[in-house]
Amino acid sequence: MKNPTYLILLLAIGLVFVSYKWVTSSQATGSTETKPTTIEDIMTRTSVRAYSDRKVESEKIDTLLRAAMAAPSAGNKQPWRFIVIDDRNTLDWIGENFRTMTMAKNAALAIVMCGDLTATFGGDAKDYWIEDVSAASENLLLAAHAIGLGAVWCGIYPQTERVEQFSQQLHLPADIVPMACICIGYPSGPTTPKDKWKPEYIHYNTWDSVRTILR
């Protein structure tokens, strides 16, 4: 016991044991103190259109893009492509040219979510790229919320004029279609999610089924 190496080893084993117990107990109890759950993030996300002046760190932008690319896609084709816009002139151009995107003028950045038509299916499955890029967009919105950012999805596709204007401004090749412009920044104040729970929208097994909804 007088050997210091032996003591250090004992101490290290003790430390590993205590850390393991701490991690497993917080997993078992679903502790939310340090790590809000996915469900909480989904239920508290809301569109954020007012931002503070704070710059968004590049690590956070990286997280958003990684979350977007983690989305499911038909046949795992991953037809999403991204244009990260942090140039103030381009953000102002968006805010000034599209009446539903005025918040871009105050956003720290925007990410234009595009679909690559050469990377998706043909025939009657050709439109799956829209669902794929939408899944990536929702992932990005949720990730933004989870890391303290605020974001709003602004629609581009299928409005032809918007698609043409964005394509021209961003020098997009013909096969790259801009689907949405997500404006992002730190929220300027607290945000409140909308309650959208409508049990009457749910049908069981067939449309004309009747089932008592408990809550």
Ligand X SMILES: Cc1cc2nc3c(=O)[nH]c(=O)nc-3n(C[C@H](O)[C@H](O)[C@H](O)COP(=O)(O)O)c2cc1C
Residues near ligand X (CB under 6 A): 46-47, 49, 100-101, 152-155, 194
Closer to ligand X by Cβ: residue 56 or 107: 107
Q: 49 and 185 in contact (C-beta within 8 Å)? A: no
Tell me the three state secondary structure of residue 183: strand
Residue 158 preceded by cis peptide, ω within 30: yes
Shortest Å, Cβ 174 to ligand X: 23
Closer to ligand X by Cβ: residue 56 or 103: 103
Cβ neighbours of residue 144 under 8 Å, at least 6 residues apart? 64, 150, 151, 182, 184
Q: 151 and 108 in contact (C-beta within 8 Å)? A: no
Shortest Å, Cβ 183 to ligand X: 8
Shortest Å, Cβ 181 to ligand X: 8
Shortest Å, Cβ 78 to ligand X: 20
Q: Which residue is nearest to ligand X (CB)?
A: 155
Closer to ligand X by Cβ: residue 101 or 114: 101
- Partnered with residue 51 across adjacent β-strands are 187
Closer to ligand X by Cβ: residue 56 or 181: 181
